[in-house]
Amino acid sequence: MDYKDAFDIFLCGGSQHVPMLRPLLQKLIPFGTVHLGSSYLTDDDLRQLEGLYDVLHTPQHDPNAYFNFELFSIRDINRLATAPYFVKLDADIHIAPDWIAYVEEGIAAYPDAVLFGPDRGNLDVSFEISGPAVRQLLHQDIHVQNGRKVIGGFYVGKTAFFKEHLRVMDLLHEFLWCYWDGVRRLPSPNPQYWPADGEVLRHPVKVIGGSDRIHGNEDTLRNLVVHAVGAGDRIHVLDSQGRVRIDRVHRAQAR
Model pLDDT for residues 188-226, shown as the tens digit of each residue: 999 999 988 777 777 889 998 865 555 658 999 999 999
Residue 248 is predicted with a pLDDT of: 53
Query: CATH top-level class for 3-120+235-254?
Result: alpha beta
Torsion angle in degrees (nearest 10) through CA of 98, 103, 105, 106: 150
- What's residue 202's pLDDT? 76
Backbone angles phi, psi at 23, to 5 degrees: -65, -30
Residue 184: which H helix or E strand, with range?
Answer: strand 183-184
Cα–Cα distance measured from residue 28 to residue 13, given in angstroms and rounded to the nearest whole number: 15
Question: How far is the C-alpha of 86 from the C-alpha of 150, rounded, in Å?
Answer: 15
**Percent of residues, the chain, with pLDDT higher than 90:** 79
Give me the mean pLDDT over the 41-46 stretch: 95
Q: Give residue-wise pLDDT tens across range 142-189.
A: 999 999 999 999 999 999 999 999 999 999 999 999 998 888 889 999
| Integer angstrom CA distances of residue 158 from 114, 116, 210, 240 | 5, 9, 25, 18
**Domain residue spans in the chain?**
3-120+235-254, 125-148+160-232
pLDDT at 117 (0 to 100): 97
The model's confidence at residue 232, banded by pLDDT at 50, 70 and 90, is very high
Evaluate if residue 255 carries a pLDDT over 50: no
Select from 146, 131, 147 the least CA-distant residue to 182: 131
pLDDT (0 to 100) of residue 250 = 46
Residue 253 has pLDDT above 70, yes or no: no
Amino acid letter, 233: D
The CA distances from residue 206 to 195, 225, 240, in Å, are 20, 17, 38
Torsion of CA 36, 57, 42, 215, to 10 degrees: -90
